[in-house]
Each structure stands twice: as structure tokens, then as C-alpha cells.
Amino acid sequence: MNTNFGDLDYQATAGGTSSNLIFDGKDYKIKLPFEKMYFERLSDEDNGDDTDFGNGWLVDKDQNEILTKPILFYNVVQAVDSSVDKIGFLDKGLITQYNRPSNSVEYQYYEHDGSTSTGTALQASRSINFNTEFDEFTGLEVTDSLFRTYYQNYISSVLIRVLECLI
């Protein structure tokens, strides 16, 4: 992979075809009032199997504690197979679910055919990422990101108009 976490290389095209675009060659940086944290799924050290638990590590580049801007995340109610992952509290018993933070979430919505009050349940994923990335917990590719949903069409159309003016 060898890609910096959170980077997005955006290759624009003029009129839908590849072209040598005129840019100043500098990075376009978006400064956000929040942080994005990298989460990971924990694995069993004995056998390498995935567990039902995930975590995040909030440190600087030298692995020291750090205080950041607010962190955005999805709260995923994660089921725990208590027959496999036997974690709990003496007074309360084994944990069967917990609130897991994540950069993406799978949700269910219904597609209606217009003639009935019920519809077909469909699964989809959304992420707070700016591009297509892999969900840290499931390993599945998530394409419905902030950039693609809210910015891609706008930015593409603005860049194309700018290029048309320069040509």
C-alpha cells in the first residue's frame, strides 16, 4: 500500500478525457476542526484469529500520548460471541455487546416498489473518509465517503470550468 493515512490523490480530467492539467504543483490541504482516528480490529495472540473487539491508539509520531481536536466516528453496537471471547466483569457476567468506534458503518435501508408498504432490505456502508478506503474492522472496501458523496461532483465541475477558461 505505502500510502499516507488520510491522503487522497485526485486525478482530474478535462471533458472526461485524460489530459495534462495545469496546476501549480502544490498540495491542496483541507484543514478540519476535527481529527480522524485510525481504529483496528484486535486479533487473538494465541492463534491469530480476529476477535470481536476493536480499538484505537491516540498517540503522536513518537508513540506519546497526545491531546487532539474532537474525534468524529460512528458508534457501532458490536455483538460479542461470549462463548469465544470470554471478557466481562465479576459482578455483571460476560460482555455480549459494546459500543465500538469506527470510521465507517454498515446500515440497512429499504427500497420500496411504490405499491406496498414494505420493501427490500438493502445493506450499504458509509464512511467519514475522503476517499474509498477499507473498513478497519471488517476489511471490506467502503466507497460511499464524505468526498464522494458531498464534494466530488462539485470539485470536478469547478476544476473543469477553470481548465476550460485556461485553454
Q: Do 49 and 75 belong to one domain?
A: yes
Domain identity same for 110 and 57: no
Provide the CA 155 distance to its chain's centre, in angstroms. Answer: 20
pLDDT at 108: 60
Q: Per residue in 20-78, pLDDT tens?
A: 555 555 666 677 788 888 888 999 899 988 999 998 888 888 999 888 899 888 888 88
Quote the CA–CA distance of 25 and 23 in Å, as a whole number: 5
C-alpha cell at 128: 467519514
Last residue of a domain, one of 74, 102, 130: 102
* pTM, entire model: 0.63
